[in-house]
Chains A and B, each alone.
Chain A
Amino acid sequence: MNKHLVKVSWVLVIALTLVAALYALGVLSFAPHVTQDDGYGNIYQGKMAHGDFIGAVEIAFADGSRWTGELKNGLFDGQGTFTSKDGWSYTGEFENGEAVDFAAGTFSSVTE
């Protein structure tokens, strides 16, 4: 085989191995926008890498309610908007699944 071709092949092998190693260790991550059904009828949309959503996620829950914001250990966290199945919505700061100060958030009543 051509010596140059062999050398190029080995360089390619080394480069691919490095990319694979960085990907495996989480240094290099591809974060495609995914739409995912979690098996309970809840539909998730957001950027996902290594099994976790990165940044804000949109969830359409099976009961009709919605969440747009971040998650931490599956709980609502950070700035986000919750829209209930009855139509009212609340935008505010969340921590560990609870509104930090409900009165400080923006509340919108039912819109028919």
Chain B
Amino acid sequence: MRAYGVLLVLVYHFFPAVLPGGFVGVDIFFVVSGYLITSLLIREFESSGKLKLLDFYRRRWRRLFPAILVMLLVFVALSLLISPDFRVDITRQSAAALSWMTNSYELAMGQSYEAQLLPHLFIHTWTLSIEMQYYLIWGAIVFAVLLVFGLVGRATKRPGGSSSQKSSSVSGSQKSSSGSGSQNELAGTSTNRSLLLRVTLAAIAVVLATISVVAMQNAAAGVRDPSVAYLSTLSHLFPLMIGSMFACFGGFAPYKPQLSAPVFKPVSLVVIALGVATLAFVALTFSFQDPRTYQFGILLVSLVAAAILYLARLWQDLSSKPEWRFTNYVGLRSYSIYLYHWPLMIIATQLAQQLGAAPAVAALWAGAFGIPLTFLAAELSYRWVEQPFRVRRRSEREDNLAGKHGSASSKLTGKHELASKLQPLLIAKISTVVLLCILSIGAFMSAPQITSIEASLRQGAQSLSISNIENAYERTQQEVAHE
């Protein structure tokens, strides 16, 4: 789903005439994020009986921040190649992106999302801002629900699965019981707790999604530019909430056996086919300015995407078939593809225009060079920025385990061997980052305060002011001469 979402956005940005409603790819992204994050939160509670909220926030930050930081360094440096107008206010744009505030920043600037004379290089990070804000809010809500119902720290057990690490912390009455009866009782209690959490979260998600849908419809009603409805966190929260709601009903072990019913496969296939057709219809026929987009378009896409995702996850549970390699490849790199495609498109278009290409031809050049470069940049970002952080986390965990069971000397030897192999690559990476930092500082320092268009308007306004005062002076002089 991530792959389809990012491909829709990619085509929409590079060739808007081909896919005028391709921006709904972002909403597919949101639904997937809402689904996965809620699934992770629920799974953490169900497997360990608790939720480490700060760890969750740390994991999310570490997942998103390194790649966005490197992307900013790359494109602030590359902005030196194009008109200085694109560097106006680039410090604030960068600060907004790194603090997950791009959507609020763009709203404060009164910037239109689509109709821009000089598009901001990092406006596309508005989606990441909403995602991170969602992580903060939703994580806190899940934590609060666990606290309110007194579920934190209590034992839980995956029904039908192995008991949790925290099963020893169950209440005394449960401990004193023995035999299969007590185990069933324990499993039943855990199932009830899990069900209570899921139903409560689903209800909260429905309420928040409803408020958000109404907010979007109100904000977009009767306005020429729907940017406020599109960029505001409140009005664009519902795709994430819809994903969250569906996640509450996914992977709930007691209901899994029913999926083997013979009717499941054909019905789900029909639903998925209809869903894909609906997504294609919206992407091909809706547009950013179209009021239908905000009345029901984004809502429809979100519901359909969530239904497809839900069914696809169930299929994954039932089938051992691996995902299609291309979508798997794109899906894994979707974050980096999304990060790099927009600024690459702007820079490629500007460079083509600087070389004398007409705007229409420049857009074609941007597509021809920008899309392959996006995939190349995404591959590098995935390998050198995203993966190392994930692998490091994993290796830290493995090191901790090895520390408990293995010998310290073998660990050290292995690390030294690895270090000597990685040194040239490490030096190359550090040199690249240092170079990017130097170029970025240069770009920040040389950024003009206003665009050339604003300078021209200001020049005109001041010429008018001077002309007015000089005319007033002339009139006064003439009156004095007459007297």
Contact partners of B468 in chain A: CB under 8 A:
97-99
Judging by beta carbons under 8 Å apart, are A26 and B108 in contact?
yes
Judging by beta carbons under 8 Å apart, are B88 and A65 in contact?
no
Judging by beta carbons under 8 Å apart, are B449 and A36 in contact?
yes
Least Cβ–Cβ distance between A32 and chain B, in angstroms: 11
Least Cβ–Cβ distance between A50 and chain B, in angstroms: 7
Least Cβ–Cβ distance between B76 and chain A, in angstroms: 14
Least Cβ–Cβ distance between A14 and chain B, in angstroms: 9
Q: Report the Cα distance A74→B465, complex, angstroms.
A: 9
Judging by beta carbons under 8 Å apart, are B473 and A74 in contact?
no
Judging by beta carbons under 8 Å apart, are A21 and B101 in contact?
yes
Q: Report the Cα distance A84→B88, complex, angstroms.
A: 31
Least Cβ–Cβ distance between A21 and chain B, in angstroms: 4
Contact partners of B98 in chain A: CB under 8 A:
17, 20
Contact partners of A103 in chain B: CB under 8 A:
476
Partner among B105, B108, B450, B457 whose Cβ is within 8 Å of the Cβ of A51:
B450
Contact partners of A20 in chain B: CB under 8 A:
95-96, 98-99, 101
**With A21-B101, A75-B461 in contact, is A84–B95 under 8 Å at CB?**
no
Judging by beta carbons under 8 Å apart, are B459 and A42 in contact?
yes
What 0/1 readout, one digit per residue, does chain B (427-468) give for beta carbons within 8 Å of chain A?
Answer: 000000000000000000000011010110111111011101
Judging by beta carbons under 8 Å apart, are A34 and B469 in contact?
no
Closest to A13 in B: B61
Judging by beta carbons under 8 Å apart, are A24 and B458 in contact?
no
* B402 contacts partner chain A, Cβ-Cβ < 8 Å: no
* B470 contacts partner chain A, Cβ-Cβ < 8 Å: yes
Judging by beta carbons under 8 Å apart, are B466 and A50 in contact?
no
Partner among A24, A61, A73 whose Cβ is within 8 Å of the Cβ of B105:
A24
A interface, over-half SS:
mixed
Judging by beta carbons under 8 Å apart, are B469 and A25 in contact?
no
Judging by beta carbons under 8 Å apart, are B461 and A73 in contact?
yes
Judging by beta carbons under 8 Å apart, are A50 and B89 in contact?
yes
* B404 contacts partner chain A, Cβ-Cβ < 8 Å: no
* B472 contacts partner chain A, Cβ-Cβ < 8 Å: yes
What 0/1 readout, one digit per residue, does chain A (60-100) give for beta carbons within 8 Å of chain B?
Answer: 01000101000101111000001010001010001001110
Judging by beta carbons under 8 Å apart, are B461 and A102 in contact?
no
Contact partners of B416 in chain A: CB under 8 A:
none
Question: Size band of the B side of the interface?
Answer: 35 or more
Closest to A41 in B: B459
Partner among B101, B461, B476 whose Cβ is within 8 Å of the Cβ of A74:
B461
Closest to B472 in A: A102
Interface residues of A in 15-55 (CB under 8 A from B): 17-18, 20-21, 23-26, 34, 36, 38-40, 42, 48, 50-51
Judging by beta carbons under 8 Å apart, are B88 and A51 in contact?
yes
* B411 contacts partner chain A, Cβ-Cβ < 8 Å: no
Judging by beta carbons under 8 Å apart, are B455 and A40 in contact?
yes
Contact partners of B89 in chain A: CB under 8 A:
50-51
Q: Report the Cα distance A75→B108, complex, angstroms.
A: 23
Q: Report the Cα distance A71→B105, complex, angstroms.
A: 24
Judging by beta carbons under 8 Å apart, are B465 and A67 in contact?
yes
Judging by beta carbons under 8 Å apart, are B466 and A25 in contact?
no
Partner among B58, B100, B101, B455 whose Cβ is within 8 Å of the Cβ of A39:
B455
* B217 contacts partner chain A, Cβ-Cβ < 8 Å: no
Q: Report the Cα distance A13→B458, complex, angstroms.
A: 39
Contact partners of A25 in chain B: CB under 8 A:
96, 101, 104-105, 108
Partner among B99, B452, B472 whose Cβ is within 8 Å of the Cβ of A99:
B472
Partner among A17, A61, A88 whose Cβ is within 8 Å of the Cβ of B462:
A61
Contact partners of A50 in chain B: CB under 8 A:
89, 92
Judging by beta carbons under 8 Å apart, are B466 and A82 in contact?
yes
Closest to B84 in A: A39
Q: Report the Cα distance A18→B472, complex, angstroms.
A: 51
Judging by beta carbons under 8 Å apart, are B99 and A17 in contact?
yes
Judging by beta carbons under 8 Å apart, are B449 and A42 in contact?
no
Contact partners of B449 in chain A: CB under 8 A:
34, 36, 48, 51
**With A20-B95, A24-B99, A50-B92 in contact, is A59–B473 under 8 Å at CB?**
no
Judging by beta carbons under 8 Å apart, are A65 and B465 in contact?
no
Interchain Cβ contacts under 8 Å between A and B, 13 examples: A20-B96, A21-B100, A23-B95, A24-B105, A36-B449, A40-B459, A51-B454, A61-B462, A75-B464, A75-B465, A98-B469, A99-B469, A103-B476
Q: A38-B455, A82-B469 are in contact. List 17 more A-B contacts (CB 8 A).
A: A17-B98, A21-B95, A24-B96, A24-B99, A25-B104, A26-B108, A34-B449, A50-B92, A51-B88, A67-B462, A67-B465, A74-B460, A75-B464, A82-B466, A98-B472, A99-B469, A102-B472
Chain B positions near chain A (C-beta within 8 angstroms) = 58, 61, 88-89, 92-93, 95-96, 98-102, 104-105, 108, 449-450, 452, 454-455, 457-462, 464-466, 468-470, 472-473, 476
Chain A positions near chain B (C-beta within 8 angstroms) = 10, 13, 17-18, 20-21, 23-26, 34, 36, 38-40, 42, 48, 50-51, 59, 61, 65, 67, 71, 73-76, 82, 84, 88, 90, 94, 97-99, 102-103, 107
